[in-house]
Structures are given as C-alpha cells and as structure tokens.
Amino acid sequence: MSDQFEQDARVEKMWRDYMINGEPDRERRQRFILGLLPGNPRCKYCNAPFQGPGSIVAKFIFNKRPSSLNPKLCNICERFASEYQGGAEVELSLLFADVRGSTTLAESMRPMEFSKLINRFYNSTSKVLVKTNALIDKIIGDQVAGMYVPGFAGPQHARVAVEAAQKILLATGHDRVQGPWIPLGIGVHTGIAFVGSVHSEDGISDITVLGDVPNVAARLSSQAQPGEILISEPAYKASGFGDRTLETRVLELKGKEKSTTVYVLEPFA
C-alpha cells in the first residue's frame, strides 16, 4: 500500500468522522460563540465574522481573520482546507434560497439600492443558516446555499433544513399582508454528496459540496415560486413532514433524465 493511498484514506476517514460525528466539544462551543458575534460576512465553515464589532473579538480572542487567499474562509479554516485536501461521501441536506425576479428588481432600482437589498438578503439568510447550524456553502449573485450535515445539524438534518427554509421566508417578510421585502423561492434536497476540500489551479483551497445533490437543490430553488419551498422526495421522507398533506408536482429538471417529484410547502398560504 503506497504512502499516498494511506494518506488519502486517513483524510477521507477524518472528513467522514467530522461530517457525521461532528466537532470536539471545544470546537463546537467555539463555533457556537462565533455564530453569536455580530458581523457579516463570515467564515463559511466556523462562523467567524470578518466585519462589524464581532470581528474584533474573533481576531484578538480566537485569532480568526479573513484568509489572504480565500475571502470566504478565515485564516485557520483555509489552512485546514489546504493541509487536508480531499473529503468523503456523506448523506446531507442542502437548502438553496433564490431571489425570484432579480433581473426585474434590478431594472426597477438604482444600482446602490439594489446592492443594499441583496446585502440585506445575504445578512438575513446567513443569520438563519448560522443559527440552525448550517455550513454556508455559497453566497453568490442572488442565491444563498446552506449545507446541513449530521455532525453539525444532527441526524434530523433534513427536518432542520426544511424548518430553516420556513424561517428564511419569515425573515424576508413572506408572512406580511403587503408581501415580502424580497421575493424568494427555496429548494431543499437530501442525498449523498462529496464534502471536503477542493484545490484550484491558482492555489486557493475551499470547503464545499459536490455531486448531484447541490445541482438538484439549486434547480428546485430556481423553479420555486415566491414564498414556496420545493422539497424533494428524499428530503420529504427524511424530514418527518410526511404527516402533512402537501401539494405534489412532477418537474423536469435540467440535466435529469427522469422526472422529479417534489412537495410544495407554502408556510404562510
């Protein structure tokens, strides 16, 4: 057995144990405390705030600051991702929140106003993801993605993801008579995906999720109407929402040969 094979096996075991069993108590407490500190943006992995008053505590007490290579990770998490290239396949749940009609919104607003609106969307959704123990996989354009793994969100990660989707709709005003301050559609999907560290050609390491699961979750969010949560059949069965009668739809998702059955949750209908 080669040294490289043994190293790859050790890294895979480490990632699998970490994603399924979670962090040691000290790291779990630290991640919780960092999540309570005010400020955005944050490290997508440990919740350390990079701006705002909380960033001062993160810097001087926890020695956490933005990585010079990857602005989405702190210096410590980026070093971890760089040292432990690789990952493991684990079952998880993904939540994608997508701004509906963002092009129309942008056309109707001044660029600065639209920028402030999107920033408010990022901040509101990020707070929910942090509080529900998600790893913030992506914040890009008009979309935010949260990753719920057993080691962080618990064995009922599918239910946590669906409940987080409801909280995001509440935070963005979808329960208001006058309508939301920003219209969102959300997709939730559960399945087995690769979670780990990826390395780009320019030397930047990142922690992300890869495979069919994120593709399905993203496509569900893009087909959800404002105020809707589209839940895939695997997520629906795993979430325990089976005791509720929900509308079902059969969708044709881009890149999928077979039709996809989804369950439609409208929390404030």
Domain final position from 67, 83, 99: 83
Instruction: Tell me how many degrees the CA angle 150-236-253 measures, rounded to the nearest 5.
Output: 105
In this prediction, residue 163 carries a pLDDT of 96
Judgement on whether residues 150 and 260 belong to the same structural domain of the protein: yes
In this prediction, residue 99 carries a pLDDT of 94
Computed from CA positions of residues 106, 110, 115, 121, in that sequence, does the dihedral angle turn out positive or negative? Answer: negative
Instruction: Note the pLDDT tens digit of each residue in 42-95.
Output: 898 889 999 999 999 999 999 999 988 777 889 998 888 888 888 999 999 999
pTM: 0.89
- For the chain, report the end-to-end CA distance as a whole number of angstroms: 59
Number of structural domains in the chain: 2
Judgement on whether residues 130 and 37 belong to the same structural domain of the protein: no
Instruction: Note the pLDDT tens digit of each residue in 82-103.
Output: 888 889 999 999 999 999 988 8
Range of the domain at 77: 3-83
Judgement on whether residues 56 and 93 belong to the same structural domain of the protein: no
Instruction: Note the pLDDT tens digit of each residue in 111-148.
Output: 899 999 998 998 899 889 989 999 887 777 788 999 99
Domain final position from 48, 83, 118: 83
In this prediction, residue 92 carries a pLDDT of 96
In this prediction, residue 5 carries a pLDDT of 78
Q: Is the pLDDT of residue 106 over 90?
A: no
Q: Is the pLDDT of residue 1 over 60?
A: no
Q: Which residue has the higher pLDDT, 256 or 36?
A: 36
Residue 55 carries which side chain, given as an amino acid letter? Answer: S
| Confidence label for 256 from pLDDT (cuts 50, 70 and 90) | confident
Judgement on whether residues 105 and 68 belong to the same structural domain of the protein: no
Judgement on whether residues 69 and 148 belong to the same structural domain of the protein: no
Judgement on whether residues 20 and 96 belong to the same structural domain of the protein: no
In this prediction, residue 202 carries a pLDDT of 67
In this prediction, residue 27 carries a pLDDT of 81
Judgement on whether residues 72 and 161 belong to the same structural domain of the protein: no
Instruction: Note the pLDDT tens digit of each residue in 193-250.
Output: 999 888 776 667 788 899 999 999 999 999 999 999 999 999 999 998 766 778 999 9
What's the CA gap between 71 and 51, in Å, rounded? 12
Judgement on whether residues 129 and 251 belong to the same structural domain of the protein: yes
Instruction: Note the pLDDT tens digit of each residue in 154-195.
Output: 999 999 999 999 999 999 999 999 999 999 999 999 999 999
**Which residues lie below 8 Å from residue 118, measured CB to CB, with a gap of 6+?**
99, 142
What's the CA gap between 125 and 118, in Å, rounded? 11
Judgement on whether residues 170 and 259 belong to the same structural domain of the protein: yes
What's the CA gap between 87 and 211, in Å, rounded? 12
Domain final position from 83, 114, 149: 83
